[in-house]
Structure formats: structure tokens, C-alpha cells
Amino acid sequence: MSLWGRIFAAGYDRIMAGPEKAVLRQLRKELLEPLAGRVLEVGGGTGANLRFYGPGVTELVVTEPEEPMARRLERHVADQQVSATVVRAPAEKLPFDAGTFDAVVSTLVLCTVDDPTRALAEAHRVLKPGGRLVFLEHVRSEDPGLARWQDRLEGLQVRIGHGCHPNRPTLASIEAAGFTVASVQHDQLLKAPPIVRPLIVGVAERSA
Ligand SMILES: C[S@@+](CC[C@H](N)C(=O)[O-])C[C@H]1O[C@@H](n2cnc3c(N)ncnc32)[C@H](O)[C@@H]1O
């Protein structure tokens, strides 16, 4: 684990405090509260979503491959007395059987995984037929001018954001993975740098 990886994990909640207050908390709540059944969250980070899961969730599994993040996640699970299992695994190689979960949650993760195509194929595999991928992701801008800046500054953002690519066409990747997008809202990650502001929030279904 790199030194920057440890610093990034230690500072993550502080870096995100502005966007959390401005927009993320409300979006997380609206997206996660209605979920029910067996839920898998990938790339859980420090556990920003934990408090928003509703009573319909019967089992919550949260994966996180980065050790400094996973330790914070485990602390937050214990502090908030959430019933959740933390598993150290990348989204590209999930240690679960096919058709296990009713919902897979990905928030601000598909920008960072090494291989979004593989990660989405894994989400598709572990979902039950008719299961839902619930996403909140910052993405490539639909404004060509901003998209050009996202391309220019990608290398810098990858370094500062510990692997975060600002310019990924994530909605198209979700559709290409075989999901049917049931709802999508385009929003802005307020209080964040412009190249990571375009947000998509929604639900996609794995065909039955
Ligand atoms: C920007 S943070 C988002 C954390 C959290 N999901 C949230 O909404 O605040 C990105 C997370 O993805 C994790 N990550 C990086 N590579 C990953 C991979 N291959 N599979 C799953 N998660 C990964 C990082 O360790 C980090 O916790």
C-alpha cells in the first residue's frame, strides 16, 4: 500500500465533507433507504453509505480492497452498530456465487476501479435475475468543453484522487454490461472541482 493511499484514506472524510453536506447525503439517503433483501456494496470506502440503509435490508456485505479504507470501514460499522460484513476484495473479482444479491450498490467507485467493464460484469453476475444495480457516480461531461478538460487533467486527477478517472462514460458502460437503466438523474457534485462535478444517480436492472 502506497503512502499516498494511506494519506488519502485518512483524509477522505474531510475532503468529502463539503460535497457530502451540499448534495451527497441527500442523494445517498434517497437511493439507499428503499433497498431490501441481500445487498452488496462495492468499494465501500470509509462507510459513508452505512447510515442510510433502511430496515428492508436483511443482509449487508460491503467490499473494499484497500486496507487503510477497509480498517476505517470496519471501525464505522462497529461505531454505528450496523449489521454488515466487510470483505476485502476488488469489484473486478467478487468472491460470491452467481445470483446471490438483490441489489449491488456502487457510489463513487466506477471512476476508480482498474477495469469498469470487468467490475460491471461481476455486479451483473452476483445479482439475482431482476436484481438492481444502484449507482451514484461522477462521470464524463456531456459538455464537450468540460469533457476536454476532464481528458487533459485525467493524469493529475488519477494521482491526486488515488486512481480516480474524471472522464469515464459510466452510463454507457452500465448499459453495455447488459443492464437496463430504469431511472437516471443527472446532477452536480457541488463543492467539488468542476472536472468531477457531473453526476449520474440511478437504478439499473439485471434482466430476469
Ligand atoms: C472515491 S472512494 C468512494 C468510497 C465510497 N464508496 C463513497 O461513496 O464514499 C473510491 C473507493 O473505491 C475503492 N476502490 C479502488 N479500487 C477498487 C476496486 N478495484 N474495486 C472496488 N473498490 C475499489 C477505493 O479504495 C475507495 O474506497
For ligand 1, atom 4: residue with the closest CA: 45
Q: Please tell me whether the overall predicted TM-score, pTM, comes out greater than 0.95 for this model.
A: yes
Q: What is the pLDDT of residues 121-131, one digit of tens each?
A: 999 999 999 99
- In this prediction, residues 142-167 reach a mean pLDDT of 97
Candidates 167, 40, 163, 172; CA nearest to 113 is 163
pLDDT tens profile 51-78: 999 999 999 999 999 999 999 999 999 9
Domains of the chain with bracketed CATH = 3-206 (3.40.50.150)
Residues with CB under 6 A from ligand 1: 42-45, 48-49, 64-66, 69, 90-92, 107-109, 112-114, 163
> How much is the pLDDT for 208?
75
Residue nearest to atom 27 of ligand 1 (CA): 45
Whole-number pLDDT of residue 1: 64
β-strand pairing of 85-87 with 57-63: parallel
Q: Tell me, what's the pLDDT at 2?
A: 84
Residue 23 has pLDDT above 90, yes or no: yes
Q: Tell which one of 104, 112, 126, 168 to mutate to probe ligand 1, the residue whose CB is within 8 A of the most ligand atoms.
A: 112
How many CB atoms neighbour CB 114 within 10 A?
11
C-alpha to C-alpha distance for 47 and 58, rounded to whole angstroms: 18
